[in-house]
Amino acid sequence: MPKKRTFANSDTDSSYTTLLEPQISIIAPLYNETESFPYLISRLNAVMEKSPLRIEVVLIDDGSRDNTALLMQQVALTDARYHCVFLSRNYGHQIALTAGIAAARGSEALFIIDGDLQDPPELLTEFYAKYQEGYDVVYAIRKKRKENVLKRTAYAGFYRFMKAISYVDMPLDSGDFSLISRRVADVLNQMPEESRFIRGMRSWIGFKQIGVEYERDARLAGEPKYSFKMLQRLAYNGIFNFSEYPVKIITRLGMLTIGVAMIYLIQTLIKRFVYHDVPQGFTALLFVMVLFSGVQLIALGLIGEYVLRIFFQAKGRPLYVLRDVIKDQQRQPVMPLKQASLS
């Protein structure tokens, strides 16, 4: 039996009490977003007021060190459409999203955006229309990035590399900005992987998926919260979790090495027995030794990367810990860990 909830934008009047659950959850993770917060709220409010859909907004505080959590608390305690989840520390964007997807109650679809308004929330209508046509995943494809050349090239290169090596069909130039159906969200909630690459997991789930082109806006206010190290970790998660390539390449390198060695051996034998020449080339020997010590270390490192992943997954820790939840304008009791782990 669904709980009584109020929705300011339900069909009849603004304080109408309904028994219905929200149809759509808009999910936005926030980490130190004080500067852009007021803009985010006013844009989201405008979207909700225009839309005939019942919408809840799920905001996730990813352990912000500024006033973000306080601002979120204020909005959630005064506006029933806002559902706020506070994590115990900074876990990173992908985990914050995971927490948001787990908390969302939208019965039809979840609309995932960035909290810095780089992904325009107004596109909900267009994305939802695609959902109604029968698509389970509607993902955004960036036409143009308004970031510096270096970052743009790195992104473009990474997505193309990922597409070439991945065993799931990942669309080019698409990030987490998407609308996913309830059943896709349910599957995501059941995927226990620790190193999360949500756009890859989303592709893995399948069903009918479609891309919609959009122009990615520049960040509205504040600094990007993704550091180079964090982006690198995200890229690693994509490569190691969605490709067998790193392991396969070790085997291929090994075979190539043996091939080269055989040719060298044959050449040496011919020199020795046909031309009665003494084999030369201590420099070459040294070079080969150093080269392949390097190759072997890389191979070990690649294997280590998988061992590490197995190690972290084997611990079976919850993906995040909740500090606080405010929904339906009330602070909710947070059960220690039980709620935090994926069930």
Distance CA(226)–CA(306), nearest Å, equals 24
**Can you read off the two tokens belonging to residue 263?**
């040719």
Contact (Cβ atoms closer than 8 angstroms) between residue 214 and residue 142: yes
The answer to whether the Cα torsion of 154, 159, 163, 165 is positive or negative is: positive
The piece of 40-48, 89-97, 113-121, 256-264 that touches Mg ion (CB under 5 A) is 113-121
- The closest alpha carbon to 142, from 108, 110, 174, belongs to 174
Q: Which is nearer to ligand UDP, 30 or 80 (CB)?
A: 30
The option from Mg ion, ligand UDP, none interacting with 93 (CB < 5 to 8 A, set by class) reads: ligand UDP
Longest CA span, the chain: 100
Residue 114 binds to ligand UDP (criterion: CB under 6 A) = yes
| Site membership for Mg ion, residue 32 (CB under 5 A) | no
Does the protein bind ligand UDP through residue 155 (CB under 6 A)?
no
Q: Which of 22, 100, 106, 115 binds ligand UDP (CB under 6 A)?
A: 115
Which of residues 30 and 299 has its CB atom nearest to ligand UDP in the complex? 30
Rounded Cα distance between 36 and 220, Å, is: 6
Would you report the helix, strand and coil content of the chain in percent, each value rounded to 5? 45, 15, 40
Q: Return the residues of window 209-238 that contact Mg ion according to CB under 5 A.
A: 219
Q: Which is nearer to Mg ion, 230 or 247 (CB)?
A: 230
Question: What are the structure tokens assigned to 185, written together?
Answer: 């969200």
Contact between 118 and Mg ion by CB under 5 A: the answer reads yes
CB-based closest residue to ligand UDP: 115
Per-residue binding letters, 51-90, with ligand UDP (x by CB under 6 A): -----------x---------------------------x
Residue from 61, 116, 136, 173 in contact with Mg ion (CB under 5 A): 116
Which of 22, 29, 106, 200 contacts ligand UDP by CB under 6 A?
A: 29
DSSP string across 201-221: HHHHH-SSEEEEEEPPPPP-S
Check binding of 195 to ligand UDP (CB under 6 A).
Answer: no
Name the residue nearer to ligand UDP (CB basis): 48 or 198: 198
Contacts of 19 (CB under 8 A, 6+ apart): 2, 4, 5
State which amino acid sits at residue 274.
Answer: V
Note whether 178 binds ligand UDP by CB under 6 A. Answer: no
Answer yes or no whether residue 121 interacts with ligand UDP by CB under 6 A: no
Q: Pick one of 30, 75, 180, 205: the residue that binds ligand UDP (CB under 6 A).
A: 30
Minimum CB separation of residue 337 from ligand UDP in Å reads 21
Which parts of the chain are beta strand (E)?
Answer: 5-6, 17-18, 24-30, 55-61, 82-87, 109-112, 137-142, 178-181, 209-214, 322-327, 330-332
189's contact among Mg ion, ligand UDP, none, with CB below 5 to 8 A by partner kind, is none
When asked if residue 173 is in the footprint of ligand UDP (CB under 6 A), the reply is no
Cα 122 to Cα 120: distance, rounded to the nearest angstrom? 5
Torsion angle of the four alpha carbons 56, 61, 62, 64, in this order, in degrees rounded to the nearest 10? 160
We find the least distance from the C-beta atom of residue 285 to ligand UDP, in angstroms, to be 48
Q: How far is the CB of 161 from ligand UDP (least distance, A)?
A: 18
The amino acid at 321:
V
Beta strands 109-112; 24-30: pairing state: parallel
Site for ligand UDP contains 119 (CB under 6 A):
no
Which residues contact ligand UDP (rule: CB under 6 A)? 29-31, 33, 62, 90, 92-93, 96, 114-116, 118, 219, 224-226
Tell me which residues touch Mg ion (CB under 5 A). Answer: 116, 118, 219
